[in-house]
Chains A and B, each alone.
Chain A
Amino acid sequence: MLNKIWPSMIIASILYGIFCGRIGEVNDAIYISLEETINLCLNFLGIMCFWNGMIAILKNTKIIEKLKKLLRPIIDKFFNGETEKSKEYISLNIISNIIGIGNAATPMGIKAMEEMNKENNKKNLSKSMNLFVLLNTLSIQLIPTTVISTRATFGSENAGKIILPIWIVSVLSLLIVMFIGLNVFKEDEKDEYI
């Protein structure tokens, strides 16, 4: 997707800059942004690596197994009728999302989709598949490491104070949207497709 967006952004800013007589500023922006990237990444280095280390510790504890058990009734409710294997992938995807290892969440999620697809011989997504994709478009991260790191880099007095509003907003959005999804998606979907 960025293959289209990125060139458009560059082309638009140069053309618009020339058109509005701001090409000088656009030119300066090129050099400023290169310098900024280096600064940000250097600052990022410490705090990003630290959180990665903490998540590695978390990943190695039994908390994962406990989370799996805790999630079981919810998964049974939302994805009832799916195979054990699908449910296993779904729970691994959800847990990876919660503890913030996106690298693991996406492959698990795709596996879950493929597994659920085996049971689905229709042309469109089944109810569980719809719900699963919807769930992944919502944020369920426990420690929003990137946000905290960026805030710290930009000299926040208290980078972590954002965690409470993030939890509240995430949980509220999740509950509302998934509740609607549970009632709106039908097993035999007659909605228009794209």
Chain B
Amino acid sequence: MNISDKLIIPILILTIILVSVLEKRKTFDIFTEGVIEGLETLVKLFPVLLGLFLSVNMLRASGIINFLTDVFGKVFEILLIPKELISIIFLKPISASSSLAIATDLFKQYGVDSMIGLIVSTILGSTETTFYTIAVYTGAIKKKISKKLIILSILGNFLGIFLSVIICKIIF
């Protein structure tokens, strides 16, 4: 597992570079242009992260997150979901950057390679900002949204969280 673990990323990189070289593209030029785009993205992300790190840190320092964790903890434990994940579960469907701020907070508390850290990473990578997406995609056209769509999207979100917990516990 350990070796194959470290193989995935290098093989992805190898594949991308090989295909590009075989197609005779200006691989390095394209790479550097992409890097500049990355810089621009980060510049745009910075103010959002700053604001959200602030609010998330303040929330935790005030004790509200602990309070909510205790209140909802029992329900989550019945569903086999560690109660530490409560804050990220509520924020992920709404905002990607808030959930990133929460995730880093959890990484600091429990360690990035702890079981909680691994589950949080999996949730972060395998679920989407459900409500935000629905708002953006249906906002452009003025049509009504059915309850079925809302229910199914919440189901998808919950399934992602539930499966993240199960799969991580099986794999790691």
Pair A166/B126 contact, Cβ less than 8 Å? yes
Scoring B residues 148 to 161 as 1 if CB is less than 8 Å from chain A, else 0, what string do you get?
11101101110110
Alpha-carbon distance A193/B146, docked complex (angstroms): 5
> Interface residues of B: mostly helix, strand, loop or mixed?
helix
| Central interface residue in B30, B32, B54, B145, by most chain A CB within 10 Å | B54
| B contact residues, range | 35 or more
Alpha-carbon distance A44/B49, docked complex (angstroms): 12
CB within 8 Å of B: which of A156-194? Answer: 156-158, 160-166, 168-170, 172-173, 176-177, 180-181, 184-185, 189, 191-194
Chain B, Cβ-Cβ closest to A56 = B34
CB within 8 Å of A: which of B52-104? Answer: 52-64, 67, 94-95, 98, 100, 103-104
Alpha-carbon distance A29/B128, docked complex (angstroms): 28
Taking CB atoms, residues of chain B closer than 8 Å to A134 are 149, 152-153, 156
Taking CB atoms, residues of chain B closer than 8 Å to A172 are 159, 163
Known contacts A56-B30, A154-B112: A163-B134 contact under CB 8 Å: no
Pair A136/B128 contact, Cβ less than 8 Å? yes
The 6 closest A-B pairs by CB, nearest first: A56-B34, A52-B38, A144-B125, A49-B38, A193-B144, A29-B61
Chain B residues at the A interface, C-beta cutoff of 8 Å: 5-6, 8-9, 12-13, 16-17, 19-20, 23, 25, 27, 30-35, 37-39, 41-42, 45-46, 48-64, 67, 94-95, 98, 100, 103-104, 107-108, 112-113, 117-118, 121-122, 124-128, 130-138, 140-141, 143-150, 152-153, 155-157, 159-160, 163-164, 167-168, 171-172
Chain A residues at the B interface, C-beta cutoff of 8 Å: 1-2, 5-6, 9-10, 12-14, 16-17, 20, 22, 25-26, 28-30, 32-34, 36-37, 40-41, 44-45, 48-63, 103, 106, 109-110, 113-114, 117, 120, 122-125, 129-130, 132-134, 136-139, 141, 143-144, 146-148, 150-151, 154-158, 160-166, 168-170, 172-173, 176-177, 180-181, 184-185, 189, 191-194
